[in-house]
Amino acid sequence: MTEYGKTLRAIDTPIPGLTVWELPVHGDNRGWFKENWQRAKMVAAGMPDFGPVQNNISFNDAAGTTRGIHAEPWDMFVSVATGRIFGAWVDLRAGPTFGTAFTIELDPSRAVFVPRGVGNSFQTLEPNTAYAYLVNDHYSPDVDYPSVNPADETLAIAWPIPLHRAELSAKDRAQPGLADITPVAPQRTLVLGTDGQLGHALRTAFAGTSHVEFAGRADLDLASSDLASARRWRDYDTIINAAAYTAVDTAETPEGRVAAWAANVTGVAELARIAAAHNITLVHVSSDYVFDGTAPRAYRETDPVAPLGVYGQTKAAGDQIVSTVPRHYVVRTSWVIGEGRNFVRTMLSLAAKGVDPAVVDDQFGRLTFTSELARAIRHLIETDASYGTYNVTGSGSVCSWADIARRTFALAGHDPERVRGVSTAEYFGKATTPVAPRPVNSVLDLTKIESTGFHPADADDTLANYVRRETGEAYPASPDRELQMLDPA
């Protein structure tokens, strides 16, 4: 008997991500009515916004009809239109809950959300039972997925109608036992732009994680005309885009402008289309250059953008495109230091060679080490933080570039007074090539990222550790222009 008057709510189960849903059913002498799927209400109540694309119905004319246990490669929301079923689910995903089973009886007032990789099965308890399920990928006959024998003794499923009396396909009776099942691997994560500073840090952050793939430009070019078919995208859960055009001054030239828009906007737009079409989480790295630097306080994620130069314009445009993807993280950062040539290494090299540099002292911000940026990205993904834009930099005191240069000299055992502070106008006053305008204030507010449980390391502490690691290494000669800010990769 269908129970009327329930309140819409989710009930957790021993299988992570598998939730039972109590559904309000309204009935009278004519029959009953329910909202079987109501996206807004269910998402608000905790349902993953899983983006169903296909609705299937299974009609079963006899009690005892048994189907499963199949771990299809999609998420599904299963419910009963008429009749009753005994549902059984087995976690076939790799991890500590592999093999965990859960059973419950379903009627029109109770449904279940089943995440990808969890084996789904049911047995009808009444004749003329109709069982419906929404899925977030289109069925394809060539899709391979594991199935486990419903009679496996290690699962100990107490089928109400013994399987020797049930209607069961020969194929399901012949399925292997749990011990012979290869666990379902997580959906893949693809990291793009691994040739750059952040890309190298992401390789380190995800080292040893079997489901994470890394691609440099030679492996996957965002400007390629066949990007949409370059991968079997439905196998991916997350794309981390660390690829970008970051030559801020060259972007002010005619050729650079074209290249910057191609990489930071056109390529990003194609990634966004792919992510939206396949329900993929898109992680995109942004920059303080989207702001004009005139704010009297640290910039918040909600502040309007007002880029001063071409590079900032392309990053702002890319941010807006990514924000239209349902599952997205825009990670906005500043003053990035990573492997390869960077500001700190340049200062160490000049200090060791006896050069007394002139460094800009009227631009303010915090350093962001790529190791911290990569750690923040992994944190957002793995904690299922709310989608949106997050500022990520080092924490601690706000400094000018000259302050950082002096601190670097001191940490390396050199006299910090050798660094002479100059204005931006003086520093670039004799430039013979285009120079991009810089925001004076690059300080980003960290309240939002901290609210997710991520606490950025103090930038000065990280700088000290970095200098200790670097001291004693050989530093390549660098042109004077390296004294200016280096931008996120």
Give dist(CA 174, CA 165) in Å, integer. Answer: 16
**Catalytic entry in 70, 145, 211, 387:** 70
Which residue pairs, CB below 8 angstroms and at least 24 apart, start in 31-40?
Answer: 32/2, 32/4, 32/108, 34/108, 34/109, 36/79, 36/81, 36/111, 36/132, 37/77, 37/79, 37/134
**Catalytic entry in 4, 26, 131, 133:** 133
Nearest in space to 235 (alpha carbons), one of 119, 324, 145: 145
- 332 φ, ψ (degrees, to nearest 5): -95, 130
Q: Is 70 labeled as catalytic in the residue annotation?
A: yes
Cβ-based neighbours of 275, under 8 Å, separated by 6 or more: 239, 281, 282, 325, 327, 328
The distance of Cα 403 from the centroid of its chain, to the nearest Å, equals 34
Nearest in space to 143 (alpha carbons), one of 204, 74, 220: 74
Give dist(CA 418, CA 348) in Å, integer. Answer: 12
Q: Is 133 labeled as catalytic in the residue annotation?
A: yes
* Residue pair 76/120 in contact by the 8 Å Cβ criterion: yes
User: Which residues does the annotation mark as catalytic?
Assistant: 70, 133
